[in-house]
Amino acid sequence: MSPVLELTGLARAYEGRPALRELSLTLEAGHTLGLIGPDGAGKTTAMRIACGLLTPDQGSAKVAGLDCLTQARQMRALLGYMPQRFSLYPDLTVDENLRFFAELHGITAAERHIRREKLLAFSRLEPFVKRRAGHLSGGMKQKLALACTLIHEPRLLILDEPTTGVDPVSRQEFWALLGELASGGMALWISTPYMDEALRCDEVQLLHLGRVIAQGPPAEIARAFPRRILRFPGLAPAALTPLLAGLSGVTVHRFGHDLHVVCDTAQEDALRERAQSAGLEVESEEPGLEDAFFELVAVAELAA
């Protein structure tokens, strides 16, 4: 059987400026694939090609074996897509929007009621079903857009940064719902700026300047991190500067209330010595996906 989504050697430029240089992937039923990368890496371009909304300069896109360009109509019946800017009907209420999208996809009334309950639960929009969409808050609109996309349960769901503006509680509930859909056999392709969401995918691809610079299960990408990370608990950022004097290539990233000092093994020895003579505490930190993101993008940037 063909994979649910298969992209082969996709490339696309806008007015001579390449947006996507080379992207290939296969996605099977029941799997979740994450797409991460800096702004302008080509994520939206890739998703629009897979939805048959944009013609690639090179390569091919297939959904369940159907060509996304020449068999677009049959292909779209299998697909749910939420673009970065999804348009709701501002004059329709929350309920009317849900109903409109359900009818658009030919969903029976009985089925619609079951799904409506689930979607209103994750989105916490139940008290607001009679409110006009135009009067919702930013995050509430985003959650209604998600609910409208999920009201038809397609074989493939493509979501372009679906949780922008969504609060931490709803993000958690939204991912629980995605987990249920994937267990039911749906294939999910999701772009996100949240590394905690990327960690919940079976696999991720890191896109940079239109090319995949890392891919695999997220935990493995983090594990392959080639350098060392140190933390100095309780140390103010300003106090770190003298500690790093003369050590070139050491990078520092803020992580919430912590600083991650990224260095090589030789530099680690030097830093530990300096910390000891200054009477400072030092701890090693396990690299996470976000550390890997910074490192891989920085290396790719130097090579570009």
Partner 1 sequence: MSSVNHTGRAVQAEQLSRRFGDFTAVDGLSLTVEQGEIFGFLGANGAGKTTAIRMFCGLLAPSAGEAWVDGLSIRTQSEEIKRRIGYMSQRFGLYDDLSVRENLEFYGGIYGLGQAEIHSRGEALLARLDLAEWGTRRTGSLPLGYKQRLALGVAILHRPRILFLDEPTGGVDPVARRAFWDLIYEVAADGTTVFVTTHYMDEAEYCGRVSIMTAGRIAALDRPAVLKAQWGAKDMQAVFLRVVSA
Ligand X SMILES: Nc1ncnc2c1ncn2[C@@H]1O[C@H](COP(=O)(O)OP(=O)(O)OP(=O)(O)O)[C@@H](O)[C@H]1O
Q: Residue 172: which of partner 1, ligand X, Mg ion, none does it interact with, CB under 5 to 8 A by kind?
A: partner 1
Distance CA 83, CA 113 (A): 25
Could you tell me the CA-to-CA distances from 118 to 49, 173, 192 in Å, in that order? 30, 11, 23
Other residues' Cβ atoms within 10 Å of the Cβ of residue 301: 11
Output 90 or 237, the one with its CB closest to ligand X.
90
Strands 5-14 and 283-284: unpaired
Distance CA 198, CA 201 (A): 5
41: number of CA atoms within 13 Å, CB side? 22
Distance CA 179, CA 31 (A): 10
Output 136 or 292, the one with its CB closest to ligand X.
136
- Taking CB under 5 A as the rule, which mask of x and - marks residues 168-207 in contact with Mg ion? ----------------------------------------
Output 163 or 205, the one with its CB closest to Mg ion.
163
By CB under 5 A, which span of 83-91, 109-117, 135-143, 208-216 interacts with Mg ion? 135-143
Q: Which residues contact 96 (CB under 8 A, 6 or more apart)?
A: 89
- Taking CB under 5 A as the rule, which mask of x and - marks residues 93-132 in contact with Mg ion? ----------------------------------------
Output 6 or 161, the one with its CB closest to partner 1.
161
Q: Which of residues 123-152 bind ligand X (CB under 6 A)?
A: 131, 135-140
Sites of contact with partner 1 (CB under 8 A): 36-40, 84, 124, 128, 135-140, 142-143, 161, 164-172, 193-195, 253-257, 290, 293-294, 297
Q: How far is the CB of 137 from Mg ion (least distance, A)?
A: 5
Q: Does 90 bind ligand X (CB under 6 A)?
A: no
Q: Residue 253: which of Mg ion, ligand X, partner 1, none does it interact with, CB under 5 to 8 A by kind?
A: partner 1
**Residue with the CB atom nearest Mg ion in the bound state:** 138
Name 190's bridge partners.
34, 159
Q: Exposure string (b/e) for 236-272, b if CB count within 10 Å is 16 or more?
A: eeeeeeebbeebeebeeeeeeeebbbbbeeebbebbe
Q: Which of residues 155-184 bind ligand X (CB under 6 A)?
A: 165, 167
Among residues 65, 41, 45, 64, the alpha carbon closest in space to that of 55 is found at: 45
Site residues (vs ligand X, CB under 6 A)? 131, 135-140, 165, 167
